[in-house]
Structure 1
Amino acid sequence: MSTLEKLSELESRRAAIITKSNDVAKKVALAQGKLAARERISILLDENSFVEVGTFITSRSTAFNMRNNETPADGVVTGYGTVNGNPVYVYSQDASVLGGALGEMHAKKIVRIYEEALKVGAPVVGFIDTVGVRLQESVDALEGYGMIYEKMVEASEIIPQIAVIAGDCAGGAAFIAGLSDFVFMSSKSARVFLNSPNTLDDKTASFDAIATAKVHFEESGLATIIEEQEEVLIEDVIRLLSYLPQNSGEEGPFYEVIDDINRVDASLNGFNFETQEVKDIVTSIIDEGELFVLNEAYGKTALTAFARMDGGTVGIIANTDTRMDYSGVKKIAHFVRVCDTYNIPIITLTDIEGFTSTVATEKLGIIKACSEMTKAFTEASVPKVNVILNHAFGSGYLAMNSKSLGCDMTYAWPTATVASLNTESAMKIMYAKELAEGTLSNEAFAEKAAEYDEIQASAYAAAARGLVDDIIEPAATRKRIIAALEVLATKER
């Protein structure tokens, strides 16, 4: 056979695998209201940039009914391409091949993608759509999961890892979601669960109660973003990648600045903390008001989001409630670690009176969670800027990127109150005896409270003690933060 004939055979074999598997996958996906494995990749990557790796790999197993089953690409399409011109490695499980069940060669293909991504320092995006382990391959398949976990841990804090749950993500596959930096879920077809509901003690448990995108978006905090349509979900992944560096050794991407870096917003001078939301402040100070919110429905007492200031990525953290709950604390701690890993400056907008604690959260470990948040801020070596907007009381204030934890630049609005406790509560404790005996008149109490505000609790008192670097006009918040970031750009990590 001549070389030309060999080349013809090669192309014929490749086309047969891709065409046949894609046609079957599309039929299965259409019946389930989902995209096919290759369709997901084509939407994610720049046009004509995908290079497939391992096209000819199939299962080696002939046990049980495997000899009668074709496994094109062994149920997972793997390769690399570009997103907005930047290299990205990708794998996409094919539910039309044994339900996307993971076998030995399937796992080795995913591990290979991780190895190549680590070599060049590029993100990995995995589309998860699997019923779990391939039982016909037993311990070989199980070992495959172990190899993937090991490689994901090796890649942790080196390259961004994004899991897109497009179907079932059951059993051992759930760990892949848990080990990822970001998890995107289809609210239409995705389910993530460690154990099936019928194995749980609660016999009334259902998939709706433990596995859906809604559950993981609102209750477990696993899901970073959810969308009903997969196409929209993948567009969200593309947006996320635009905020991230290729790896932890690079700085975040910078874009041309259209927004005026010295822009002021006079409306902030009249900000009403009772009727307005802190998100209004955030959108006012960032470039073009464009905000990419993460884990929006989990830990609602805190806002975590990516944005741009002066064209560069920043991580925004803001208190949306003056009492922060357990899930809000956990969300912030995770986000701070992500920002620190990928060289993203942290901007905090502080308005906190304390933590919300219940019997349930005390047992869950809110003390440990708050300590982890404090540790995350302290260890973060990226530029850190804090703006105290209103309340800043006690341990809540300290844990929110305070000067004591190593914040590089702390500003305060004139409305800020920095103290160990709010004035009324502090006065009642300090003058408990006098109040009980009735020896402190209302007028005297008011005078003492005013004195406490002036000497102990005002923004000026905090500035006098060096806890605040400057008291700023709210309208100038954007330009003051950008100026601080410019100075801190050469901060040694």
Structure 2
Amino acid sequence: MTVLSEVSQVAAGPADGRGCVAELHQIRARALAGPGEEATAAQYARGKLTARERIGLLLDTGSFREVGQLRRHRASGFGLEGRRPYTDGVVTGWGTVEGRRVFVYAHDFRIFGGALGEAHAAKIHKVMDMALAAGAPLVSLNDGAGARIQEGVSALAGYGGIFQRNTRASGVIPQISVMLGPCAGGAAYSPALTDFVFMVRDTSQMFITGPDVVRAVTGEEITHNGLGGADVHAETSGVCHFAYDDEETCLAEVRYLLSLLPQNNRADPPRVQCTDPPGRRCERLAALVPADGSRPYDMAEVIAEIVDDGEVLEVHERWAGNIICALARLDGQAVGVVASQPKALAGVLDIEASEKAARFVQMCDAFNIPLVTLVDVPGFLPGVGQEHGGIIRHGAKLLYAYCNATVPRISLVLRKAYGGAYIVMDSQSIGADLTYAWPANEIAVMGAEGAAGVIFRRRIAAAPDPAAARARMVKEYKAELMHPYYAAERGLVDDVIDPAETREVLIASLAMLRTKHADPPSRKHGNPPQ
């Protein structure tokens, strides 16, 4: 019996309001019971939770308000006759995370494998429109098998509507995609359009064409996880920002990320009460960073020493490890940290590092998150592969992102900043509001060894002892053009600070810049390098 026929029977019965309400509650309970215990057991056997269990972990307890519970598809034929389950395979609605409104949709893999059809897509379109109108974050819990083949082109058109809404919402509200199962074909483009992508190892995969198609076309043998698993996208492709071992941890980290983001582009990120003293001296920094510019160290430890309580959420932690992009707090205020990582490729900038940092800078600027850039960069990575791969074009992406950013921007040179990489890493010349340096900094076109070899090549070659002459010229170049106060004397560094005072200086600077207002030029949009 359908819900409509049941409702008709109730309406035709005795005019007892309480009885009608009780019976209607029973009808709703039956309608929302889901596909049954067998389908749920199969979901658990795959190591996955149900859609409603996932929503329960994401949102504050009891806060979820569902919309479209009784929606069903209207398709017929091709095996869909008599199979019209309620929700149509996606649960949509809104709730709160730490008391702040969040919209969510979750594919129910137990119904048609979570495949998207016309009614399914319409529900997603509605909740996306609601999120944009309300100015609140949107989280998608993805666990679907792509377009519903039985519904043909109507299903494909549903994806087009999702992509259009992803694009309209970009930079307006935070969009987070959580991959908790398969995501194949055109469906994978929606997560790629969002701000952050989370994945769970072993149970989630993303790819345009699956292993069977790859085998048929190229002859390559590969597993689902080997082609598009969480580790592949976290380490190799850069599609995934965060990867976790289980759904519970993954969804807890989504909640934490939301706590660092504003509701929309018109709001500031939420401030929290800070128990870490703003004036705390960071005496460990001098020991963490070797004075010798050729010695590596872990910039992640430097960041943890500076920020509130050492708490850092690193974005794309395992991709392009020569640069760090992280969200943290300074005196309770959310900040985006971009930092060279000397322990990976000596902290040089390359194609992947430039892309990673550029997208992060754009995200922070879109959502009013101040930027702190920690610089210890020897330059761009040289090599035929980098040049042919478009390092000029990709490096320009980071340059464009910084130049376009209007949020408060502070840069700090820890040791060295050479060549074009110095300019690109938010130097004062491209618009940093404040630029600081530690006393042992070296800001120059290139390292002293290389510079002396170019400038004094003939004198070195003609000297009786070329090695001694070269050492003398290197020392002379350092003394004249690379001493720690050279850039400060020319106004390219606002102050040379004691490393132990770094936290205090950054917090005071951010407090001063809190009311910064910058009007971008009047234009439809820029044309960033691709």
The normalised TM-score by structure 1 is 0.97
**Structure 1 unpaired stretches of 5+:** none
Cα distance in 1 for partners of 2:314, 2:229 equals: 20
State the percentage of identical aligned residues: 38
Q: Is 1:492 the counterpart of 2:513 in the alignment?
A: no
Show CA shifts across 1:34-71 (max 9, x none): 01111000010101100000000011101221113232
1:125 alignment partner, one of 124, 135, 139 = 139
Paired with 1:362 and 1:60, the residues of 2 have a C-alpha distance of 54
2:298 corresponds in structure 1 to 277
Q: Whole-Å Cα distance in 2 between the matches of residues 436 and 278 of structure 1?
A: 39
| Residue 224 to residue 438, structure 1, CA distance change in 2 (3 Å) | same
Task: Give yes or no for contact 1:77–1:94 (8 Å, CA) kept in 2.
Answer: yes
Give the equivalent residue in structure 1 for 2:255: 238
Among 421, 424, 446, the alignment partner of 1:421 is 446
Q: Give the whole-Å Cα distance in 2 for the aligned partners of 1:22 and 1:490.
A: 55
Residue 305 (structure 2) pairs with residue 288 (structure 1): no
User: Structure 1 residues 249 and 162, CA, compared in 2 at 3 Å: closer, same or farther?
Assistant: same
Counterparts of 1:102-181 in structure 2, within 5 Å, are: 102-181=116-195
Instruction: Specify which of 456, 479, 501 is matched with residue 454 of structure 1.
Output: 479
Q: Matched residues in 1 for 2:455 and 2:32: separation?
A: 77
- Checking the alignment, whether the CA contact within 8 Å between 1:454 and 1:461 is kept in structure 2 is no
Q: How many residues align?
A: 493
Which residue number corresponds to residue 203 of structure 1? 219
Partners in 2 of 1:357 and 1:10 — Cα distance?
70
Distance in 2 separating the partners of 1:205 and 1:133: 25
After TM superposition, give the deviation of residue 442 of structure 1 in Å.
Answer: 4.6
* Residue 383 (structure 1) aligns with: 408
Aligned to 2:64: 50
SS of the counterpart of 1:235?
helix
Once the two structures are superposed, what CA deviation does each residue of 1:437-487 show, in whole Å capped at 9, x if it has no partner? 336755544343223212211220010111100000001100000011011
Check the 8 A contact 1:91/1:113 in 2, yes or no.
yes
* 1:362 Cα offset (Å): 2.9
Cα–Cα, structure 1 residues 275 and 150, in superposed 2: closer, same or farther, change >3 Å?
closer
CA displacement, residues 341-377 of structure 1 (integer Å, 9 cap, x when unaligned): 0100000110001122443333332211100100001
Q: Distance in 2 between matches of 1:275 and 1:135?
A: 54
Normalised by the length of structure 2, the TM-score is 0.90
Q: Report the Cα distance in structure 2 between the residues aligned to 1:48 and 1:424, rounded to whole angstroms.
A: 65
User: Which amino acid in 1 is paired with 2:415?
Assistant: N
Q: Matched residues in 2 for 1:417 and 1:491: separation?
A: 30
Post-superposition, which runs of at least 4 consecutive aligned residues in structure 1 deviate over 4 A? Answer: 22-25, 439-444
Residue of structure 2 in register with 1:315 after alignment: 336
Alignment of 1:62-141 (within 5 A): 62-141=76-155
Q: Deviations over 1:375-400 (max 9, x none)?
A: 00111110001110011000011110
Aligned counterparts, 1:271-420, within 5 A: 271-273=288-290, 274=295, 276-321=297-342, 322-420=347-445
RMSD: 1.5
How far did 1:177 drift? 1.1
Alignment correspondent of 2:29: 15
In the superposition, relative to structure 1, how do residues 289 and 444 fare at CA in structure 2: closer, same or farther (>3 Å)? same
For residue 212 of structure 1, what is the amino acid of its counterpart? Answer: G
For 1:337 and 1:379, the matched residues in 2 are separated by 8
Which secondary structure does the structure 2 equivalent of 1:158 belong to?
coil
1:199, distance to aligned residue in structure 2 (A): 2.4
- For residues 219 and 275 of structure 1, what CA distance do their matches in structure 2 show? 24
Q: 2:495 aligns with which of 441, 450, 470?
A: 470
Q: Distance in 1 between matches of 2:447 and 2:334?
A: 35
Q: Distance in 1 between matches of 2:296 and 2:402?
A: 30
Q: 2:240 aligns with which of 223, 226, 235?
A: 223
Name whichever of 261-270 and 54-63 sits farther off.
261-270
Give, in whole Å, the separation in 1 of the partners of 2:36 and 2:388.
Answer: 50
